[in-house]
């Protein structure tokens, strides 16, 4: 079955740029989506269709995709951005999530 691979953890200091990657064989043909999940809360969509930002999501969140890798970039990460981040994409059978990346900002 289709898999999306993310690094388990990323750590940055406040104000630095955090980059979280997601690799998958179908990403050249399928969009990537990104979700932020803070402790004890439901996930929130932060990027859709590779690089679009929903209303209400801060401009410091951006996304890109090239070949088999999609990247979520948080420019000037804030302490409140500390969370788990999941990429998501689709195949012919439905949806699939990556294994998640814990972002630490300290």
Partner 1 sequence: QITLKESGPTLVKPTQTLTLTCTFSGFSLSTSGVGVGWIRQPPGKALEWLALIYWNDDKRYSPSLKSRLTITKDTSKNQVVLTMTNMDPVDTATYYCALSYCSSTSCYPDIWGQGTMVTVSS
**Which positions touch partner 1 (CB under 8 A)?**
1, 30-31, 33, 35, 37, 42-45, 48-49, 54, 86, 88-90, 93-100
Tokens of 76: 């000037």
How far is C-alpha 4 from the chain's CA centre? 11
For partner 1, which is the closer residue by CB, 14 or 58?
Answer: 58
Residue 11 CB, shortest distance to partner 1, in Å, is: 19
Could you give the CA distance from residue 41 to residue 36 in angstroms, rounded to a whole number?
A: 10
Residue 29 CB, shortest distance to partner 1, in Å, is: 8
Could you give the CA distance from residue 90 to residue 31 in angstroms, rounded to a whole number?
A: 8
For partner 1, which is the closer residue by CB, 64 or 90?
Answer: 90
Could you give the CA distance from residue 74 to residue 57 in angstroms, rounded to a whole number?
A: 11
Residue 106 CB, shortest distance to partner 1, in Å, is: 21
């Amino acid at each position: 079955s289709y898999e999306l691979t993310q690094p388990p953890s990323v750590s940055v200091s406040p104000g630095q740029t955090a980059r979280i990657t997601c690799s998958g064989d179908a990403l050249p043909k399928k969009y990537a989506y990104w979700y932020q999940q803070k402790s004890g809360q439901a996930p929130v969509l932060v990027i859709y269709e590779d690089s679009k930002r929903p209303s209400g999501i801060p401009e410091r969140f951006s996304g890109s995709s090239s070949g088999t890798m999609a990247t979520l970039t948080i420019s000037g990460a804030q302490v409140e951005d500390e969370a788990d981040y999941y990429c998501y994409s689709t195949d012919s059978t439905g949806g699939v999530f990556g294994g998640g990346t814990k972002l630490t900002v300290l």
